[in-house]
Structure formats: C-alpha cells, structure tokens
Amino acid sequence: MDHILVRYGDIGTKSASVRGRMVKILRQRIEDRLEYEDEEYDSVTDIPGRLIVKNARPEASEAVAELPGVASASPVKELESEIEALKNAAEDVEIGESFGIDTNRSGSHDFSSMDVNREVGTFVQDFSGAEVDLDDPETWIKFDVRDEKAFMYTETFEGPSGMPVGAADPLAALISGGIDSPVAAYEVMKRGSDITPVYFYNRPIAAEDHLMRFKASVEKLKRFHPSKDWEAYIVDMKEVNEELMDIGRGRMLLHRYIMFGIAEKIAEQENLQGIVTGEALSQKSSQTSSNMRNTSSATDFPIHRPLLTRGKAEITEKARELGTFEEASIDSACRTMAPESPATRMSNGDFEKLKRRIDVDELVEKALENTRKEEI
C-alpha cells in the first residue's frame, strides 16, 4: 500500500461552497497531524468525496483517522479503474482461508460494483482456493473505484466524522483535571470548534498537582489541532473560594455562577462565541435542571453541554479512548469544597437572595486580575 485514502461523512452533506471550505480545512489538519507525528509524505490532494495522502506509511492511517472530520482512513494501492487492473492487484494480497470482495464505485464505467465483486471474486477463488465468505471473512479485499483511478485496501480505521477543527465558531472550554470536561472539549472540537482552555485553579483547596492534571489533559487534546499555538487561561480562585467558604447551602451554585461570569469576560476578550462545560444532567447537585438554570444566568453567552444526557460509564469509556482518563486518575491533593448539605434544587428567588450575600461583580473582577494566559 502506497497511499492513504481519507473519507469524510458530515462534510459531504454540505453545499458545494461550504464543503469546499471544509475540505480545505480538513486537508490542512491532516498535513498538521502528519507533521506532528513526524510522518513523511508527498502531498495531500482531494478528489470528489475523498482526500488522498500520497506516498505515506500505512501505519500513519491510524493517526489520520483520529482527526475530527475524518469518517475513516485506509492504506491503499492506487490502480487504473479497469477490472483487469483490480484482478492483478488482488493477486498480490495474502489470502486467508476465506475472503470477501466489496466494491464502492462512483463515476462512469462500463461495469458495476457487482461486476467487480463477481469477476474479481471468481479470480481470487481460482488462484487461492479460498472460500467466499461475505459475513466474516479472514481476508477482505475492498475497492474504491473513482472515475479514472481505483484504490484497493484490506483494512479501515474508523474516525469520528464530524467537522474539522476550525470549521465552526471558537469556544471557551472550561477544563478541569477530571474525567468529564476534556471529553466535552473533544466533543465540540469534533463539531468543528476550536477551543481556548480555561482552568479554574481552586486554591487554597487544590494543590499544584491538580493544575498539572489539567495541563496533561490539554496535551492529549492538542493532537486534534497540533499546528496552532495552544494557550490557556488559568484563573486563580483563591480570593473567591475564601469568600465563599462562609456560605453553606448554595455555595457550589455561587461558585459555578462566578465561573461562568469569568468565562464570559474571557470569551469576550478572545472573541469566542460560547462556553463549553462537562456538565451532565443530575450528575452533581449543581447540575440539576433548576440549578443549571440559576448558574447559566451569569452570562448571555450560549453554554454548550455536549455530555448533558450521558452516563458516567459512557463518559469514562470515551475518556479512556481519548487517553485523558489516565490524566484524571493522577493522585491529587485537591479536597472538595462542597458543603455537607448541598442545594440540589434551589428556586430562582432563593438563588437571587443568596447572590446578595456577596459582591459577585467584585469577585469576578478579582479573579480576572489573578488570571494568567499561559502557553501549554
């Protein structure tokens, strides 16, 4: 196999002009990722419905397949789009005890996909003696036939599909050192949004090892957009937390309300178009529907919660897949700041009364004064 065939899904549903823009972005992301992995290749070119990485190692297909916007990637051999050429190529494949032929054809030809499957299948059976099995063969030989060229492959690496990073509005992603928020950040990247990570350093409750967990999680996310200069906002919450510790019931709601107020200011400064959190409905006391209504009122910016209806097991499985679960599992000296009896359902009126016990605007400003922008 000498090239990598890259397929995209959601991009193909867009209008011609939007599709062209997104394909261009995806091509750049593929080049970025290959350079990030120190992979050698000649070029990344596009043909209708596909991108081709010319003269790349087959092993690089796995890295390419990870990218948002990629539906799947396969190491391929480029052929002439003639049945005799497909037969000759199939002869070079090591065939197991059973095999299957599968063809996807696009364009104008004097043969159909079924013609390829039948003729190449008969040819392979004759020279190999293997049995045909179209359910679970030991060897798949697949062809992607385009107008003038065809591609043969035997393995496919599935991708996340979606949109390439940078194709949609940029967002502020609130990322902690835990399991949920890096997964939420990834999910919006998969829909095309570039992210600016924001970390709330909950001193004096959290120690520096918790900050290290955050940075380790962001390192894992960088591979989906490795060419950009990754910078994060680190917000020192020491003064906010010291003020809030005198409040019992409702403390975590105020804490989150202030976080959203700070995030709004950062989003305005960076010209971001929304805020992303790892909140899941009813997972914590601050994440009931009524409490999320209270905390969301801190900002007019849209708050995106891509994990809203997911269970913890599903989120954890995705974190393992992304490689961020290991970072979240690093021992941390952080102690919870939640009160013994947290407010699971606080009315809007009660929350408004609670807010009057502190000067929210002043605490937001103090936190912003103690915020630094740091290269990750």
- Does residue 333 carry a pLDDT above 70? no
Q: How confident is the model at residue 331 (pLDDT cuts 50, 70, 90)?
A: low
Distance CA 308, CA 45 (A): 38
| Domain match, 214 and 358 both | yes
Please give the full DSSP string across 249-285, using - where no structure is assigned.
TTHHHHHHHHHHHHHHHHHHHHT---EE----TTSSG
Whole-number Å distance between alpha carbons of 220 and 200: 19
Range(s) of the domain holding residue 116: 3-158
Given a cut of 70, whether residue 62 has pLDDT beyond it is yes
Q: Are residues 212 and 144 in the same domain?
A: no
Mean pLDDT of 121-130: 96
Is residue 332 pLDDT above 60, yes or no?
A: no
pTM > 0.95: yes or no: no
pLDDT digits (tens, 9 = 90+) for 237-248: 999 999 998 888
276 and 208 co-located in one domain: yes
- Max alpha carbon distance in the chain (Å)? 84
State mean pLDDT over 265-293.
94
In percent, how much of the chain has pLDDT > 90? 84
- On whether both 200 and 345 belong to a single domain, the answer is yes
Is 60 exceeded by the pLDDT of residue 335? Answer: no
Per-residue model confidence (pLDDT) at position 334: 47
> Tell me, what's the pLDDT at 13?
93
- Tell me how far apart the alpha carbons of residues 300 and 134 are, in angstroms, rounded to a whole number: 54
Q: Which of 107, 129, 158 is the last residue of a domain?
A: 158
Residues 161-171 pLDDT 10s: 999 999 999 99
The bridge status of strand 149-153 relative to strand 139-145 is: antiparallel
The domain tally of the chain equals 2
> Using an 8 Å Cβ cutoff, are 146 and 47 in contact?
yes
Mean pLDDT along residues 272-286 = 93
Tell me: pLDDT of 341 over 70.
no
CATH number for 229:
3.40.50.620
